[in-house]
Structure 1
Amino acid sequence: MKWAGRRLDGQTITDAVVAVIVALLIRYAIVDPPGPSSTWPAWSAWPTAAVLSLPIALRRHRPRAVLALACAAAVSATVTGAVAAGAIWLSFVPTALVLYVVASTASVAWSAAALAACLSAAVTAILVFYAQVFPGLAPAATPSEIPPAWPIEIGVTGVLLSAAWAVGAVVRWKRETTSRLVRHRAESAVTDERRRIARELHDIIGHSMSLITVKATVANHVADTRPEEARAALAVIEQTSRSTLTEIHRVLGLLRAEGEPQQDHMPVPGVADLPELAGHARSAGVEVDLTVREEAVLSPAVAMSVYRIVQQALTNVVTHAGPTRCSVTVDIGGGEAVIEVVDDGPRHGRPPRTVPGGHGLIGMRERARMYGGTFSAGPRPEGGFRVSASLPYGPNGTVTGAL
């Protein structure tokens, strides 16, 4: 009943066909051997060939036990004289085919031990055949060009078994190498995803906390003298906090395990959200001059990277140079999204800003490289700081760089 419900796959059918072909070859060799004929009756060639070839059809199921069965059958047929003189190696073909499966699935130590056992058994059986069985066989009616000899039989059988083991061992090594490569790629994908999420959180939290810090400082200084301005600062803090929590919720939603209920996907920020981003920077005391020229519609991934680069650049301006004047230019066209953020430097005698060494510039540089683009940042000779990035995209606004 179990067999009736088992699905026959391609490998099982192939093994059955190979078993039939090998059985026919063994039967033909027994009936018409290159050397003296066997003393067994002619009809026994069929069951002998069937017993010797049966392990081929069963080699995918418990290959270790089937290997022992195949080797024992070949040895028994050899020492009893049921096989063909001069073609004994054909009796060990099923053993070689099963040994291949063992070498490709078992450990190297175990398969090597199985090879040694099979070689020892085969050599012993061939020597016994030529010492005890062969002298009693009637001479062949037509002598073969290559007369039967035990060194030839042992050599061919040894090469056959060794070659089958070597091929199986190579297949096993290749499978293990491929498996390690797949695991490495999976781990790299997880690491890249974590880095991407970390960049998202860094950009979101860094930008928002900079605005909140500036506005909280303003509210604290004018709370008694100018309560209206203090309330306006608190309103900005409230709005920024709410939008930040919303974005954090969206990013952390990517970390949900499979099978957990997913909420509706929240919109991904893009080029259309840049005016709001500039408005946040203006509320923190930075005079932002935003210019966006959009001749193509970017994919959500590229558009979000443009947004994040501008967001981090404005965050650095608010943190390191504000209050100041800043110009933001985004030019999308010609297969490339070019971003430039330039500020005039700090006012009121604050020291000039040096190139920051934190994660902000690193994150922007990684975003640009992720899409095969370029990134540069540094102080300007006339004062202030400049950030420039370019992200190439395809004809339909899709990514062209290497992810």
Structure 2
Amino acid sequence: MARHGVLGDALVVAPLVPLCLIQVIHPGGPGMRTGGPWGGLVLVAALLIPLIWRRRYPLTVFAVVASVSFAQWAAGLDMVAGNIAVLVAMYGVASLCRTRWAIAAGAVAQLGILLVVFRPDGTVPVLVKEYAAFSVFVVAIWIAGINAGTRRRYVESLVGRAEQAERERGQQALIAAAAERVRIARELHDVVAHNMSVIVIHADGAGYALDGDPELARQALRTISTTGRRGLAEMRRLVGVLRDDTGTAEPHAPQPGLARLGELVDQARASGLPTELAVRGTPRDLPEGEQLVIYRIVQEALTNTLRHAGPGTRATVELGFGHDEVELEIADDGRGPAGPGNTGGHGLAGMRERAAVYGGTVRAAPRSGGGFRVLARIPVGRDE
């Protein structure tokens, strides 16, 4: 019916055609007035043919059918089976048009019943009963049309919402993918910055110790090799995530967490930065995302210390578990950044952005007694 609307409407009207032809050719009573066989055929055609387009032009079809019926009444012709076209057209208006047009169509149909029923030769009680009987029939068809229109609009709204939800789902997937790529880019920055700082420091140390202490130089070269391989492996993993658009890649290594803080501190010591790790409070099981934030803040702070603190610097990493937050402090006794322009790089901005994701804060400033301190507070337990 939706694909071939005109053909479907023609099939709906088709059963009325034989009934109307029989009634016109062989009238039901000797006093029945239909305008003769040819006049009756013209009347039936004028009533039924417009119904073929009732779904496409419901208001126009109803106006034509109602006008033909009014002209039939004005000419003094009797009702025929084809006059049911008024109710069919009214149903189309009620189901396909706005409410005000549906009410207007129902009122016109009721007026038509009033014109047909109230005859000058009838008694009032009989006429009222006939009018009530016909009105109930008309109102039932009118309500059925209203319900059909309401259901159709409801289904259309459901389909529209489903399509909109599908579009939004695709947009959310794109947004999530873009956010993940931004996160991976930050991860890549942290990995490259930390490992390159370690490599440069050990390369410089190896150059100084090459003649005077070959064993120390070899140890520095081994550290460079190990750090380079580790950094290269992590870079390959992160870049592999960026390249993988099919979702069929092999599982990646887990993100570093609190369990690897000891390794990070040992790496800083091996790079020539004496570092101590202290844990206060009762350790708790944190989500992987928060563990990664803490790990990256420590990594970035130690990398900045290696870059800017100068020789003979010592660093401390304190991790404190409170009731509703984790406090992280990374401090050193070096000279701090070489100038104000070095304190606002991507590293410190990345720390603040990472902590802000979980409602945390990061403050980084020179210490009053010398050195530099990074203090981070990250709320925990919000989703428990």
Q: TM-score range by the shorter chain?
A: 0.5 to 0.7
Larger radius of gyration: 2
Give yes or no for the alignment of 1:315 onto 2:255: no
Q: Name 1:279's counterpart in structure 2.
A: 266
Partner-residue secondary structure (3-state), 2:211: coil
Give yes or no for the alignment of 1:338 onto 2:324: no
Please give the per-residue CA displacement for 1:247-276, whole angstroms capped at 9, x wherever unaligned: 23443454434463525x534322121122
Of 136, 161, 182, the match for 2:79: 136
Q: In 2 relative to 1, CA 304–157 (structure 1 residues): closer, same or farther, beyond 3 Å?
A: closer
Q: Name 2:383's counterpart in structure 1.
A: 400
Give yes or no for the alignment of 1:197 onto 2:184: yes
Counterparts of 1:118-197 in structure 2, within 5 Å, are 118-129=58-69, 131-132=71-72, 135-137=78-80, 142-145=129-132, 167=154, 170-197=157-184
CA distance in 2, matches of 1:355, 1:243: 27
CA distance in 1, matches of 2:151, 2:55: 9
Partner-residue secondary structure (3-state), 2:331: strand
Q: In 2 relative to 1, CA 270–76 (structure 1 residues): closer, same or farther, beyond 3 Å?
A: same
Counterparts of 1:234-245 in structure 2, within 5 Å, are 234-245=221-232
Q: Are the aligned partners of 2:201 and 2:271 in contact in 1 as well (CA < 8 Å)?
A: yes
Tell me the amino acid that sits aligned with residue 363 of structure 1: G
Q: Are the aligned partners of 1:375 and 1:389 in contact in 2 as well (CA < 8 Å)?
A: yes
Q: Are the aligned partners of 2:206 and 2:221 in contact in 1 as well (CA < 8 Å)?
A: yes
Tell me the amino acid that sits aligned with residue 327 of structure 2: V
CA distance in 1, matches of 2:199, 2:159: 59
Q: Are the aligned partners of 1:321 and 1:353 in contact in 2 as well (CA < 8 Å)?
A: no
Q: In 2 relative to 1, CA 272–174 (structure 1 residues): closer, same or farther, beyond 3 Å?
A: closer
Alpha-carbon offset, residue 212 of structure 1? 0.7
Q: Name 1:64's counterpart in structure 2.
A: 3
Counterparts of 1:202-217 in structure 2, within 5 Å, are 202-217=189-204
Partner-residue secondary structure (3-state), 2:227: helix
Q: In 2 relative to 1, CA 215–158 (structure 1 residues): closer, same or farther, beyond 3 Å?
A: same
Partner-residue secondary structure (3-state), 1:224: helix
Q: Are the aligned partners of 1:122 and 1:157 in contact in 2 as well (CA < 8 Å)?
A: no
CA distance in 1, matches of 2:65, 2:15: 9
Alpha-carbon offset, residue 210 of structure 1? 0.8
Alpha-carbon offset, residue 189 of structure 1? 0.9
Q: CA RMSD in A?
A: 4.0
Q: In 2 relative to 1, CA 125–378 (structure 1 residues): closer, same or farther, beyond 3 Å?
A: farther
Please give the per-residue CA displacement for 1:65-101, whole angstroms capped at 9, x wherever unaligned: 3x4445445566788888xxxxxxxxxxxx9xxxxxx
CA distance in 1, matches of 2:340, 2:209: 28
Alpha-carbon offset, residue 351 of structure 1? 3.6
CA distance in 2, matches of 1:166, 1:282: 71
CA distance in 1, matches of 2:54, 2:213: 90
**Matched length:** 301
Tell me the amino acid that sits aligned with residue 213 of structure 1: V
Q: Are the aligned partners of 2:193 and 2:303 in contact in 1 as well (CA < 8 Å)?
A: yes
Q: In 2 relative to 1, CA 157–77 (structure 1 residues): closer, same or farther, beyond 3 Å?
A: farther
Tell me the amino acid that sits aligned with residue 343 of structure 1: D
Please give the per-residue CA displacement for 1:337-379, whole angstroms capped at 9, x wherever unaligned: 22111223428xx845556322212222222122232222233
Q: Are the aligned partners of 2:205 and 2:217 in contact in 1 as well (CA < 8 Å)?
A: yes
Tell me the amino acid that sits aligned with residue 197 of structure 1: I
Q: Percent identity?
A: 37
Alpha-carbon offset, residue 209 of structure 1? 0.8
Partner-residue secondary structure (3-state), 2:326: strand
Q: Are the aligned partners of 1:204 and 1:247 in contact in 2 as well (CA < 8 Å)?
A: yes
Please give the per-residue CA displacement for 1:162-221, whole angstroms capped at 9, x wherever unaligned: 766755664454344433332232122111211221122111111111111111122223
* 5+ residue gaps, structure 2: 21-50, 82-115, 118-125
Name the one with the larger helix percent: 2
CA distance in 2, matches of 1:288, 1:162: 76
CA distance in 1, matches of 2:215, 2:155: 81
Q: Are the aligned partners of 2:335 and 2:372 in contact in 1 as well (CA < 8 Å)?
A: no
Give yes or no for the alignment of 1:367 onto 2:354: yes
Of 52, 57, 71, the match for 1:117: 57
Q: Are the aligned partners of 1:365 and 1:375 in contact in 2 as well (CA < 8 Å)?
A: yes
Partner-residue secondary structure (3-state), 1:337: strand
Of 200, 212, 219, the match for 1:232: 219
Higher mean alpha-carbon deviation, 230-239 vs 71-80, is at: 71-80
Please give the per-residue CA displacement for 1:250-304, whole angstroms capped at 9, x wherever unaligned: 43454434463525x5343221211221122223332322212352132333222
Q: In 2 relative to 1, CA 80–357 (structure 1 residues): closer, same or farther, beyond 3 Å?
A: farther
CA distance in 2, matches of 1:160, 1:132: 31
Partner-residue secondary structure (3-state), 2:350: helix
Q: In 2 relative to 1, CA 171–300 (structure 1 residues): closer, same or farther, beyond 3 Å?
A: closer
Counterparts of 1:234-313 in structure 2, within 5 Å, are 234-255=221-242, 256-258=244-246, 260=248, 262=250, 265-293=252-280, 294-313=282-301
Q: Name 2:98's counterpart in structure 1.
A: none
Partner-residue secondary structure (3-state), 1:388: strand
Partner-residue secondary structure (3-state), 2:374: strand
Q: Which has the higher contact order (CA 8 A, sep 6+)?
A: 1
